[in-house]
Structure 1
């Protein structure tokens, strides 16, 4: 049915909103899963390339985190420049769009931890500005040399309280804005067409987003897209997304109206053991993003849908113990 609708839109020369809408997967764990022997199976139980299975479920975009000097740890390492470039090339060859996510760390950066890379420890602030620019430029240049033009590039990951602590904490917005702008400038020098994303967690919290982006605006931080995480599982009342989905929708519309930027849910996830609930939530999230006026809602990206709990111990994948995608993944096929 979906293929018929797409063909119909093409024949009638209708706006192909369904095809420009990003349906994504953050797949930083995928190469490690493959390297450790994890086997992916399609719905029929046939062993298949995990990325192909995602594509067959409507995924047209990949999001790739990149770290400066990561360890070889299976769960919290890898995602080096070389690995990021290799994965981006592989995805692009499959016709997928690419988002690069700079953590500016050697491992996870999120609201609980924004550790600067070990190689940058002891650097004064002027040097940190140079570090951010050089690292961003280096990775973007490697992608360009490999023939990849990322459609989106995140400068920082879930930077609710800033990044590259302590210099880039939100306690010092003028410095944080300067660090952001070094990343922005490096992206644009190498790839002017790439859109720079600034990303916060708790996408249903309108007041927090207003406070943060008001400060970003006041301090001259440069960006093109506002990225949001939305994980009902981690909110009060988990995993009942119905308690917060309208707040997410209101926030998306408010951000567009207030800042004039495009918006995108760059991380979402639901409990793997509740696939119907996660399916329903994903349909609702996609609907809310599509309802943003003037096509400024760009898409929805699931964080590590293939990251099966049996391998990762992560409870919010969309993969079962049998190595197959759960019903949750059908939400990307069943939404226009």
Structure 2
């Protein structure tokens, strides 16, 4: 965000509520910890491709089983599904997500749907409009609403209704660029356009869910960064965007220490009166490279709590246990839980066709597909 524009100044200029009107975290936070986590799951959208590449997964005892069943046996109760509009062949389109949703249901898991509203990767650094979609704002508001409505209906129609849907993926800097890009190169901030698109997507999701209770989530990538989180959700509140859950990505190498994460989550539930969910989490179990083609997190990565959680199998397991502790300390059971990101993405499938598996040391399975001790973190108690 541009440092020359204050949070208070923008809210006043937008005619929104002042920061002082938001309920202080200290006034709302209670002291009742949760005894369990209602969401314990993973995004395993690469799973079908990995199986097609010949990868087989084994549980802690060495038995070959489908990866989602291995996690479900340990207590996982949610599967997060990525959906791209028209990705390269074999990648996560609607048909693949629908098929994986059926597998999730058979394993006893609920569905968290993650439409990127893009043909391929969408994140804070890029949010490209699908090639087949219109590009003007008015038409995009119609399109995101009808697309989301149809998507949710398709999941319900096959008996796998969506339980949580996030309106875009890591939308910290906007969605459907440039029409909904939040920060333009000239310093312009398009809060009106961005929030209009979020509202349209949310409306479509709620229209498509029928009688099933669907919760909506806004997902950003600021796990341990309280100031950035406040800036985003203060504005979301000012512009009147409806949502049920605050979603955060938390990768400690980029998003701060465990203590900073805990402080931010507790602040958020008090400040916005909403529960929080860690929609993406990962931590290295090694600095080795499973496919020898490079990883995004290597031995030079900054891990703020590395003394507590070294990049080892046990260090990773301890990280997830500590994460559970953070979430259970969020007041009134509002630390809903966590979703590990692509814990099955072992070598075999690249982030794009012909590329490397750049996260193969952040998985919860080793390079051969055998489960690591950290999967015990999915347990219910």
TM-score by length of 1: 0.87
Match of 1:104?
A: 117
Partner of 1:150: 162
Residue 310 of structure 1 and its aligned partner are, at CA, apart by 5.5
Instruction: Give the aligned partner of residue 367 of structure 2.
Output: 321
Tell me what 1:189 maps to. 207
Structure with greater contact order relative to length (CA < 8 Å, sep ≥ 6): 2
Q: Unaligned 5+ residue runs, structure 1?
A: 1-15, 236-242
Unaligned segments of structure 2, at least 5 residues: 1-33, 183-188, 287-311, 350-356
Tell me the TM-score normalised to structure 2 length: 0.77
SS at structure 1 position matched to 2:190:
helix
Moved over 6 A (4+): none
1:49 aligns with 2:61: no
Match of 1:174 among 189, 192, 195: 192
CA distance in 1, matches of 2:49, 2:260: 36
Higher helix proportion? 1
Q: Check whether the contact 1:202–1:228 (CA below 8 A) recurs between aligned residues.
A: yes
RMSD: 1.8
Q: 2:139 matched to 1:163?
A: no
User: How many angstroms does 1:184 deviate by?
Assistant: 0.5
Q: Equivalents in 2 of 1:160, 1:109: separation in Å?
A: 11
- Say yes or no: does 1:135 pair with 2:127: no
Deviations 1:159-213 (A, max 9, x none): 1111111111222001111100111101111226111000111300000000001
Q: How many pairs are equivalent? A: 308
User: 1:59 — aligned with what?
Assistant: 76
More displaced, 292-301 or 313-322?
Answer: 313-322
Q: Does 1:304 align with 2:342?
A: yes
Q: How does 1:1-336 map to 2 (within 5 A)?
A: 18=36, 21-72=38-89, 78-120=91-133, 123-170=135-182, 171-191=189-209, 193-234=213-254, 244-273=257-286, 274-309=312-347, 311=349, 312-314=357-359, 315-333=361-379, 336=381
Give, in whole Å, the separation in 2 of the partners of 1:232 and 1:309.
Answer: 23
